[in-house]
Every structure is written in C-alpha cells, then in structure tokens.
Chain A
Amino acid sequence: MGLVQPIATRRSATGIPTGKLAVWWLIGSEIVIFGGVLVSYIILRHYHADWTEEAAATNVWLGGLNTFVLLTSSLFAVLAHYYMEKRNDAKKASMYLWLTVVGALTFLVVKSFEWTHEIQHGYVMTKSLFWGFYYTAAGIHGLHVIAGAVIMGIIAIQIRQGKHYNRVELIGLYWHFVDIVWIFLFPLLYIAK
C-alpha cells in the first residue's frame, strides 16, 4: 500500500495547498448538485399552493433542534482546526473532531425519530410529491452527513497517529458545507409552509 506521494502533490503554483484546492472544487460541484434538487423543489413548491397542507406536517421543532446540532458541530469542527493548526495539539483537535462526529450522530438519530414518526402517520414518499422532495433532499443531505462523519472519524484517528494533520481543515471545510446546505433546507422544508 505504501504509496510514495508524487512530487506533483507537494507543488503549489497557486499558493493554495493541493488538498484544500481539491476540497474547494469538490464543494463547488456539490453546490450544483444540491442546487439542482432545491431549484426544482422551489419552483414546484411555489407552483403547488396545495402543498401547504402536506408541509404543515413537518416538525419544525425537531428540524430546529437539528439546525442547532449542526451549527454547534460546525463550531467544534472549526475549533478542531484551530487547535491542530495554531496550537499543534493533535489530542485536542481529535477530541473536537469526535465531538463533531457526535453531533452528526445526534443529527441522524433525531432525523430517524422524525422520519419514523412521519412514516407511521402515513407521510411517506409516495403520499405526495412534496414528501417525494422532502425525503429526497433531506436524504441526499443525510448521506453526506454520514459520509462526512465516517471520514471525520478516520481523520481523528490518523492525527493521533501523527500523520495527515492538514486533513483536519479539509474535513472541516466539507462539514461546514454540509451545515450550510442544512441552513437552507431548514427554512425550505420546515418554515416556508
């Protein structure tokens, strides 16, 4: 497995480290993916005034709780970056990364309660196109949360082994993006009824 890192990876003609540049482009591509779903949703939601009835069933308190959880987890992520980069403290950084992961898991647990409740009351994907969008948009977002949490855990372990310190910032950037998507999903799915 021992891949010798190519010299190419260490060069930086732009001044931005390679890994970070890649994450910026990754986020750019994700903006248009989520954008596609959300623009379609916004237009159809506006068109279908009768979806207000369906939308009334979303739980703004659980949605709000999840918003709080993600905002706080973003704080933990940036603190992890601070401790890694400014204080060179892998132990503290790792702790904050794990706290972020806890935030992610909390988000998923809350969401699973929310969705279970909704499904049991008959608000399933096939009930109305509103719910189709609801589950699709939140579902794609949820997959990104899961992926982010997994990678974050791996990085938290790696920095305790003394390697890949730069990745703390990178996963943090990804995580903040996931947070920003939710910042827009929350009003779209829960508040704008």
Chain B
Amino acid sequence: MSEHVDHGPGFYVKTWGILLVLFAISVIGPIAEIRWLTLITAFGVAVVKAYFVAARFMHLDIEKRYINYMFATMLLMMLLFWGGIVADIGAHRGSNWVRIAPSQVQAPGSLSQPKVNAMKVEQSDETTSEEPTIESEGH
C-alpha cells in the first residue's frame, strides 16, 4: 500500500481544484483562435493534467521507480511507433512519389492511371460475388 504519506482529503480536493483551473484554460485557449496558442493550451494542459492525476491521485510520485520506468517505456513505444510511420502515413509526397487517393483523381491517364489488373478488378467488382470469376489458369 502507499506507505508513509499522510495527505488528508484536502490535498486531493486541492489537486482537483488545480485540475479544474487547467481545464478552464484548455477550453478558453481556443477562443483566441491563434493556432499555436490553442495547441499549447489544449495539449500542454492535457499533459500537465495527466501528470497531476498520475502523480497525485495514482500516487505514482511515491511508487517504486521502476513502475514509472515501465510507463515511460510504453509511452516511448508509442513515440517510436509514431516516428516509424509518420514518413509514410503522414506525408503527402516523398522524394519520388505523390499520394493521391483514387477518388480524387479527375482525369484518366494521369498519375494514378489504372493499370491493367486494376481495371479487371473494377470490372469484377461489378459482377456479383456469388460467382468468383477466378480462372485459375488465366494469369
């Protein structure tokens, strides 16, 4: 159990008060409609709120350190995941490619011109799926 800590209920109520103030900041921030300010108030405040809940309500500030390391590792995993995929999923263009969704292509014969089998797929799309027209020896 969380040992040698004698915070009375007042401590927790005060923390709750701090959380509410932070919450108010995060709601008021966007009203100014300055993008960087909104981001700081919304996400910066979220981080601070999370800290207060974790440290003071979950008593992570007095928990054994390796538990905190475990959580930090999980969060770092998420950062790693983000870092590994953002260049692919988050980019509109790379050094040799441009990403356009098929639905956004206007003219045929442009970048995402359908290749032969893509056309076939589109056609078989129109046939009902009750007859799988897989001529196995075809291609």
Could you list which residues of chain A lie within 8 angstroms of chain B, going by C-beta atoms? 14-17, 24-25, 27-28, 31-32, 35-36, 38-40, 42-44, 46-47, 60, 64, 67-68, 71-72, 74-75, 77-79, 82, 85-86, 166, 169, 172-173, 176-177, 179-180, 183-184, 186-187, 191-193
Q: Measured between C-beta atoms, what is the minimum distance from B58 to chain A in Å?
A: 5
What residues of A have a CB within 8 angstroms of the CB of B119 in the complex? none
Q: List 30 A-B contacts (CB under 8 A).
A: A16-B63, A16-B64, A28-B74, A31-B74, A31-B78, A32-B74, A32-B78, A35-B75, A39-B78, A39-B85, A43-B85, A44-B90, A68-B20, A68-B23, A71-B23, A71-B49, A74-B16, A74-B53, A75-B13, A78-B56, A78-B57, A82-B9, A85-B2, A183-B50, A186-B26, A187-B42, A191-B27, A192-B38, A192-B42, A193-B30
What 1/0 mask marks residues of chain B from 34 to 64 whose CB sits below 8 Å from any chain A CB? 0000110011011001100110111000011
| In-complex Cβ contact of A39 among B13, B56, B81, B92 (8 A) | B81
| In-complex Cβ contact of B86 among A43, A79, A191 (8 A) | A43
Number of B residues near A (Cβ < 8 Å) is 47
Interface set, chain B 71-94, CB cutoff 8 A to A: 71, 74-75, 77-78, 81-82, 85-86, 89-92
What residues of B have a CB within 8 angstroms of the CB of A193 in the complex? 30
Contact of B64 with A176 in the complex, beta carbons under 8 Å:
no
Which residue of chain B lies nearest to A184 when distances are taken between CB atoms in the complex? B46
Q: How far is the CA of A36 from the CA of B74 in the complex (A)?
A: 11
Contact of B50 with A85 in the complex, beta carbons under 8 Å:
no
Contact of B89 with A44 in the complex, beta carbons under 8 Å:
yes
Could you list which residues of chain B lie within 8 angstroms of chain A, going by C-beta atoms? 1-2, 6-9, 12-13, 15-16, 19-20, 23, 26-27, 29-30, 38-39, 42-43, 45-46, 49-50, 53-54, 56-58, 63-64, 67, 70-71, 74-75, 77-78, 81-82, 85-86, 89-92
What residues of A have a CB within 8 angstroms of the CB of B30 in the complex? 60, 191, 193
What residues of A have a CB within 8 angstroms of the CB of B53 in the complex? 71, 74, 176, 179-180, 183
Interface of A is mostly: helix
Q: Measured between C-beta atoms, what is the minimum distance from B65 to chain A in Å?
A: 12
Which of B1, B13, B63, B81 has the most chain A CB within a 10 Å cutoff? B1
Contact of B26 with A191 in the complex, beta carbons under 8 Å:
yes
Q: Measured between C-beta atoms, what is the minimum distance from A152 to chain B in Å?
A: 15
Q: How far is the CA of A77 from the CA of B92 in the complex (A)?
A: 45
Contact of A43 with B26 in the complex, beta carbons under 8 Å:
no
Contact of A43 with B46 in the complex, beta carbons under 8 Å:
no
What residues of B have a CB within 8 angstroms of the CB of A166 in the complex? 1
Which residue of chain A lies nearest to B30 when distances are taken between CB atoms in the complex? A191
What residues of B have a CB within 8 angstroms of the CB of A35 in the complex? 74-75, 77-78, 81
What residues of B have a CB within 8 angstroms of the CB of A14 in the complex? 64
Q: How far is the CA of A85 from the CA of B85 in the complex (A)?
A: 45
